[in-house]
């Protein structure tokens, strides 16, 4: 079984991006910039944002974090986004989710200029992705896609089963695999027989949030299995896939941690650079 080393692939990608940033600097005399808005003091969000900032600096991007207390008014955040939309030094804007209840997530997402939407959540980017046009692609599914392609560059005609239909993971993952000519089934909490759906898959992507949901006897021999889940349990952080069982069946499997997670941030940097490049045309 191939253990898909997301840490290593992400480090390679960051190295590649570092080279690209120095090339862009020479070419345009400018550096792509990422601005993150962080609201409140949720520990996981603070950790994610710190990691994003560190990685952005590591590849040579300009990086800025704007912090607001939990009590910030929605209006203040929307005004700041509008300011960033017209700031030529800002290539990408990310508002760290989740947001406090009094702030309308959709309004925030739709206020970000789609050309600076490094998370790929703006309806314009969602539409472009599903129409097969150029767009920002949500970072986690993009990371999963790159890992799959690393294992198997030609996946045309493969049967893929996505477990979970979130806007963040499952739905964009479906679009990416459709673009590669996979036959894609998207499953969710109301799917009648998840096991038999998974058993047909050459590629499984699990993005559910239920510890070790996907069992060894759900997986066809030599399938590629990508585990997006991050679940805190008594035995530590586990994914949505039962690693011990599935590693005996799969051709390739991502560990948790060290699989999809590191790719997410690397793909955010990639998206920032892509937004910059598109703005220079």
Active site (catalytic) residues: 52, 96, 119
In angstroms, what is the minimal distance from the CB of 239 to ligand NAD?
8
Three-state DSSP class for 191?
Answer: coil
Sole window of 18-26, 94-102, 125-133, 222-230 interacting with ligand NAD (rule: CB under 6 A):
222-230
Helix H or strand E segment including 37: strand 33-39
Under 8 Å CB-to-CB from 55, ≥6 apart: which residues?
14, 265, 266, 268, 269
Q: Check residue 219 for interaction with ligand NAD (CB under 6 A).
A: no
Size of the site for ligand NAD (CB under 6 A): 24
Most distant CA pair in the chain, distance? 56
Examine residue 163 and tell whether it contacts ligand NAD (CB under 6 A): yes
Residue 207 contacts ligand NAD per CB under 6 A = yes
Sorted by sequence, the CB contacts under 8 Å of residue 142 that are 6+ apart come out as 120, 172, 176, 263, 267, 270, 271
Compute the least distance from the CB of residue 168 to ligand NAD, in Å: 4
The interface region with ligand NAD, picked from 19-27, 75-83, 188-196, 245-253 by CB under 6 A, is: 188-196
Beta bridge partners of 214: 241
Nearer to ligand NAD, 78 or 151 (CB): 151
CA triple 202-208-209, angle to 5 deg? 135
Among residues 45 and 191, whose Cβ is nearest to ligand NAD? 191
Which position among 162, 203, 260, 269 is part of the footprint of ligand NAD (CB under 6 A)?
260
Considering only 45, 46, 183, 231, the residue that binds ligand NAD (CB under 6 A) is 231
What is the DSSP code string of 214-257?
B-GGGS-TT-EEEE---EEETTEEE-SB-HHHHTTT-SEE--SS
Reduced to 3 states (helix: H, G, I; strand: E, B; else coil), residue 120 is coil
List the one residue from 191, 199, 216, 277 that touches ligand NAD (CB under 6 A): 191
Residues at the site binding ligand NAD, with contacts judged by CB under 6 A: 140, 163-166, 168-170, 187-189, 191, 194, 207-210, 228-231, 260-261, 264
């Amino acid at each position: 079984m191939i253990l898909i080393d997301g840490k290593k692939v992400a480090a390679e990608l960051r190295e590649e991006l570092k080279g690209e940033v120095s090339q862009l600097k020479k070419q345009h005399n400018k550096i792509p910039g990422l601005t993150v808005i962080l609201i409140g003091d949720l520990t996981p969000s603070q950790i994610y944002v710190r990691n994003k900032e560190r990685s952005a600096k590591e590849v040579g991007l300009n990086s800025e974090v704007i912090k607001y207390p939990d009590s910030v008014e929605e209006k203040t955040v929307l005004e700041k986004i509008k300011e960033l939309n017209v700031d030529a030094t800002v290539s990408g804007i990310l508002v760290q989710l989740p947001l406090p209840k009094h702030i309308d997530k959709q309004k925030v997402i739709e206020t970000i200029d789609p050309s600076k939407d490094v998370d790929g959540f703006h309806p314009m980017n969602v539409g472009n992705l599903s129409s097969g046009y150029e767009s920002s692609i949500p970072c986690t599914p993009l990371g999963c896609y790159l890992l799959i392609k690393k294992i198997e560059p030609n996946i045309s005609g493969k049967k893929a089963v996505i477990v979970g239909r979130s806007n963040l993971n499952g739905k964009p993952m479906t679009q990416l695999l459709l673009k590669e000519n996979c036959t894609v089934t998207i499953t969710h909490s109301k799917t009648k027989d998840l096991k038999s759906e998974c058993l047909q898959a050459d590629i499984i992507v699990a993005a559910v949030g239920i510890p070790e949901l996907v069992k060894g006897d759900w997986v066809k021999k030599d399938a590629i299995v990508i585990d997006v889940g991050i679940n805190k349990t008594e035995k530590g952080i586990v994914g949505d896939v039962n690693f011990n069982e599935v590693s005996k069946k799969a051709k390739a499997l991502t560990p948790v941690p060290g699989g999809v997670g590191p790719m997410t941030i690397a793909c955010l940097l990639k998206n920032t650079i892509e937004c910059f490049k598109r703005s220079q045309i």
